[in-house]
Amino acid sequence: MRLGQFEIHALSDGTFALDGGQMFGVVPKVLWEKKAPPDERNRIRMGLTCLLVHAHGKNIVIETGIGDKMNAKQTGIYKIEHSTALPAELQKLGVALNEVDLVINTHLHFDHCGWNVSREAGKLVPAFPRARYFIQRGEWAHALAPTLRDRASYIPDFFTAAEAQTEFLDGDTEILPGIKMEVVPGHTRHMQCVRIESENQRAYFISDLVPMSAHLSPAWIMSLDLYPLETLANKGRLLPELAAEKALVVFPHDPATPWVKLAEVDGKIAAQPVAAAA
């Protein structure tokens, strides 16, 4: 898809599943199961959407999915299915791993940084050997010393081998003209979303502020969020703004569609489908 002078592609790293109660928090199951039907273990199917942006002659990857380093037990627990994977998706677009220039992680939960590193000859190495990686400094620090509440969400082996190539950010940062990280706390303290803008056209990788279209309702917030009231406030601020801008909003985990436009309908923010080639 063209976005002004940029080109963006939604890439899939397959699917996985998490408990529906984790994903919808205080929302009653009789409501959320209509939008995300659970399996026999109460897990809902979720996508693993990453983004490739061609901008300023560079290949930029936003998020790296869940990767291939989970053991058999973890693969079963999270119902990981790799009908496709990030490296293969890049290859289909003619981009080799060593041709990626920048990698952006919104945060370091295992389902967002799985391909940051790869295993070669039994050793973990950066999967993108030429790339600079970008993460908030506070997120990196927390990922290495999480709380009892969220430590299961972080697997340091998924990202520490790329530390030498990582640039640590302290707040909102425009790393290239039109490619800006914005800190949006709620899910984690230092989660960053990515604003992409060229020729007055905008896209917004919204990360786990709104993981799926089912979470567009302001009060539909994950129990996994460490700061749910900040999630609520940031949704109330950002979603009307993105609707007014007619921005392309990219979800990390919607299993049906990677991106939508937003519109205000009867006083509520609603998703409008967007064709991949629009």
Q: How far apart are CA 169 and CA 195, in angstroms?
A: 15
pTM, two decimal places: 0.97
Sign (positive or negative) of CA dihedral 32, 33, 37, 38: positive
In sequence order, which residues have a C-beta less than 8 Å from that of residue 132 and are 6 or more positions away?
Answer: 101, 102, 103, 165, 166, 167
**β-bridge mates for residue 173, sequence order:** 181
Whether the CB-CB separation of 20 and 43 falls below 8 Å is answered with yes
- What is the model's pLDDT at position 275? 74
Sign (positive or negative) of CA dihedral 85, 103, 91, 126: negative
**β-bridge mates for residue 15, sequence order:** 47, 81
Would you kindly state where each structural domain of the chain is located, as residue ranges? 2-273
Which residue bears the tokens 């901008």? 55
Whether the CB-CB separation of 105 and 193 falls below 8 Å is answered with no
Spans of the chain, pLDDT less than 50: 277-278
Write down the H helix ranges in 33-114: 72-77, 86-92
**Which pair of structure tokens corresponds to residue 222?**
């994950």
User: E strands, the chain, where?
Assistant: 2-3, 6-19, 43-55, 58-62, 102-104, 117-120, 123-126, 132-136, 166-169, 173-176, 179-183, 192-198, 201-205, 248-250, 259-265, 268-273
Q: What is the CATH number of domain 2-273?
A: 3.60.15.10
